[in-house]
Structure 1
Amino acid sequence: MICEELGDTKFCILVDEAVDAGGKEKMSIVLRFVDRQGFIRERFFKIVSVPDTTSLTLKSEIVKVLSMFNLHVRNMRGQGYDGASNMSGIWNGLQAMFLAECPSAYYVHCFTHRLQLALNGAAKGVHDLCRFFSTLLLVVNFVDSSAKRKGALKAARDDEIQDLIALNTLQTGTGSNQTCTLQRPASTRWSSHFHSIKSLIELFGSTVTTLYHIMDTASLPIQGEASGILRALRTFEFVFCLIMMDKVMKVTEVLCQALQ
């Protein structure tokens, strides 16, 4: 159906690779084109398992997929990737290989990825924010690394929700007050940091309760670790950065979504 919609017109490819839950390399291929009505369409086309992520392997697999559906490289008019050297390299990168075969297939480094790299780089240049994100990751990893701790967090959150509902300080209704967990941020995805911050703000009280519970019931080494994390979590500097970055990243999230 996608090929029928595309016809024999020009198109762009958007490609990214990632490791799945089984540890296998996967490459996703998206086609971007203008349909017969003049509207820009982006269609998720295929996921391909690849033995490695060298530019030669990726090009070979992409050409194989396109050939399978009678799509010709000569009709390619754009390439959208991240900035990794195997994708963007001007000599041996994937974009250079396709450009050599089709000079009109111009490469564009994903704008959202560029924005996220810039924001991450800027944040790392501010020492207070660098410490804040390190502490944030420490809190999430500590609580999320154990099913028992995640269960304690869920129980603490359920009790907190019941108390807030009893005090009429929490709205109720279909879909409200869903149980959530702390979100782990990814190093290059600025949006994931925003989701991590939002989840900790929502679960801040429950997280503190969980850490106190761990300090009372866990082994001595774990008690000491929980105590140190709780102390860092409750400092003025951490809470200030948590609230400030929530406000800042509400703005950058809108920009990320628009670029996406």
Structure 2
Amino acid sequence: MEKWNLLRNLDTQIESVFVKRTTKEVEHNRFRLKAAIEAARLLANQGQAFRGHDESESSLNAGNFRQVRKSFERMASDDDRVVLENAPGNAKYTSPPVQKELLNILGNRVRQMIREEVGDAKFCILVDEAVDAAGKEQMSIVLRFVDRYGFIRERFFKIVSVPNTTSLTLKLEIVKVLGMFNLQVENMRGQGYDGASNMSGVWNGLQALFLEDCPYAYYVHCFAHRLQLALNGAAKGVHDTYRFFSTLLLVVNFVDSSAKRKGALKAAREDEIQDLIALGNLQTGTGSNQTCTLQRPATTRWSSHFRSIKSLIELFGSTMTILDHMMDTATLPIQGEASGILRAMRSFEFVFCLILMHRVMKVTEVLCQVVQRKSIDIGEAMKFVDHTKELLQYMRDDGWDDFLMVLASFCETHNIDMPDMSSRWLDGTGRPSQQKNFITHEHHFRVEVFNAVLDFQLSELNKRFNERSCELLTLTSTLDPHDKFSLFETQKEFAEAVDNETVINDFEALGPRRVKFS
């Protein structure tokens, strides 16, 4: 009878006890997994590193992932804290493979949401490759499309490790990524790359390979990259500006490489600001006159060169002050280096190029920021390109006198010896120019530096943004459906003035595809 009663009581049977225990373990495992997911979500959203140098239990800082998870434990209730702290080794969900799996799942969910946002619309791809800190080639893929509300969207899609950067390898990887989310190459309507041969090659470049599969995927050289190439070409095309940027990098590296020198520069700037305010030469207000440091220029960010020049102009007097102080108090090697840098900064040639490049890059900086906007259209970009050319041309034709006044004021403020512009120009050896008809300082600095820099800048901009491609891109912007194709009506007369033969030649100039009109 006892066995019969036990058999009838289902709650005491081993199957029921096992199911209850298993259900509780599943619930605890899910709770621990949620804590790991939230930690991964937070770090991924903030772009923070997961791993730490020492992730052992006795480590004071076991990395961001484990530390964030511990913070969840401290905020949890007593029962939940016991569940998190007493997890078995195979159910902690903190191992590196689990972290990578969680990241992959989160990344796929984000990519799936981007895919749903694209829908059935046409799209463009923006691709670039670079070498990471580990020396591996990485390719980034960005999707550009118009959403259902008519807004232009750019969504970073994925980073892919590639064994090499040949055009065929890049194409296969891109097609593989797009195919995983059912994005058809036939729906591609644009390609945006840099001007490297493996990307922009007419016959075997990446853009040519995609044009074979989709003849409507037009290739456009990245406008920001075009502008950077133009600025780089202008800087390297004139010897004076090339030497100037080399000296600028030397000055910034010397001051910025030491925390002690940066602190001295900040203190000197604070004293200078107080003196200028006392003399009434500096306006005061909320947020104004903030102390800063010299900005280090980056190789791939040409805007950083403008910020570097701007910071040096603002801190020119403070920089010379600390260099003078170092020549008296620093060690002998540092004294020699500070003396050479100070001599270079006080040279009129350096100051001339400093003010000149600041005025030139102040104009191009606006264009540089505009072409990097996510929502800018082609027509608006073309207007900014034309406006930049007009400003540079005006500076070249009528800006010398105004520039000379600003230069003279800067030299007077910082006690820089400014030569008599009507005197005879001496070359780098200190001897008069070897030309038959000797030239003056004004002729050298105006013709051989000022005009040369602006001419080279305009030449590069005209080459990178030539009239043919600009007119063609302007015509394509008339297909904007806003306001019932109002842009198309405004360009109708211009479009009718262009015969079919001209349009065919313009299209063929953009790539290897031969356009056929019915």
Q: Give TM class, smaller chain.
A: 0.7 to 0.9
Deviation at 1:228, TM superposition (A): 0.8
Structure with the larger strand share: 1
Name the residue aligned to 1:38: 150
Query: Matches of 2:161 and 2:262 in 1, distance apart?
Result: 33
Give distance in 1, aligned partners of 2:274 and 2:164: 50
Partner secondary structure for residue 149 of structure 1 = helix
Is the contact made by 1:156 and 1:210 (CA closer than 8 Å) also made in structure 2?
A: yes
1:138 aligned residue: 250
Q: Residue type matched to 1:124 in 2?
A: K
Structure 2 residue matching 1:13: 3-state secondary structure: strand
Matched, 1:170 2:259: no
> Given the alignment, which residue of 252, 267, 277 partners 1:155?
267
Alignment of 1:58 with 2:170, yes or no, is yes
Q: Which amino acid aligns with 2:239?
A: H
Q: Paired residue for 1:9, among 110, 121, 135? A: 121
Is 2:353 the counterpart of 1:241?
Answer: yes
Contact preservation (8 Å) 1:56, 1:94? yes
The residue identity in structure 1 corresponding to 2:124 is: C
Mapped contact 1:85–1:93 kept (Cα < 8 A): yes
Displacement of 1:211: 1.7
Give the 3-state SS of the residue equivalent to 1:254 in structure 2: helix
Residue aligning to 1:256: 368
CA distance in 2, matches of 1:164, 1:51: 58
User: What are structure 2's unaligned runs of at least 5 residues?
Assistant: 1-112, 373-518
How many angstroms does 1:233 deviate by?
0.6
Q: 1:59 to 1:170 in 2, by over 3 A?
A: farther
**TM-score normalised by L of structure 1:** 0.85
Number of the residue aligned with 2:205: 93
Larger relative contact order, structure 1 or 2 (CA cutoff 8 Å, min sep 6): 1
How many angstroms does 1:232 deviate by? 0.8
> How has the CA–CA distance of structure 1 residues 61 and 217 changed in structure 2, closer, same or farther, with 3 Å as cutoff?
farther
The answer to whether the 8 Å contact 1:214/1:223 transfers is yes
Instruction: Give the alignment partner of residue 194 of structure 2, picking from 65, 82, 86.
Output: 82
Q: Measure, in 2, the Cα distance between the counterparts of 1:242 and 1:124.
A: 15
Indicate if the aligned counterparts of 1:117 and 1:188 stay in contact, CA closer than 8 A. Answer: no
Secondary structure of the corresponding residue to residue 71 of structure 1: coil
Find the counterpart in structure 2 of residue 184 from structure 1. 296
Identity value in percent: 86
Q: Could you say what secondary structure the match of 1:14 adopts?
A: strand
In structure 2, what is the Cα distance between the partners aligned to 1:180 and 1:50?
41
Is the CA contact (8 Å cut-off) linking 1:120 and 1:188 kept in structure 2?
A: no
Relative to 1, partners in 2 of residues 1:63 and 1:247: Cα closer, same or farther, differing over 3 Å?
same
Deviates more, 1:122-131 or 1:133-142: 122-131
Return the offset for 1:13.
Answer: 0.8
Deviation track 1:123-143 (CA, whole Å, cap 9, x = no partner) reads 322222222222112211222
2:181 to 69, 76, 80: 69
Q: 2:223 aligns with which of 75, 90, 111?
A: 111
CA distance in 2, matches of 1:214, 1:238: 21
2:299 is aligned with 1:201: no
SS in 1 for 2:127: strand
- Give me the whole-angstrom Cα distance separating, in 2, the residues matched to 1:210 and 1:231: 13
Q: Does the C-alpha gap of structure 1 residues 206 and 25 become closer, same or farther in structure 2, counting only changes over 3 Å?
A: farther
Cα distance per residue 1:103-141 (max 9 Å; x no partner) = 322211112222221232133222222222221122112
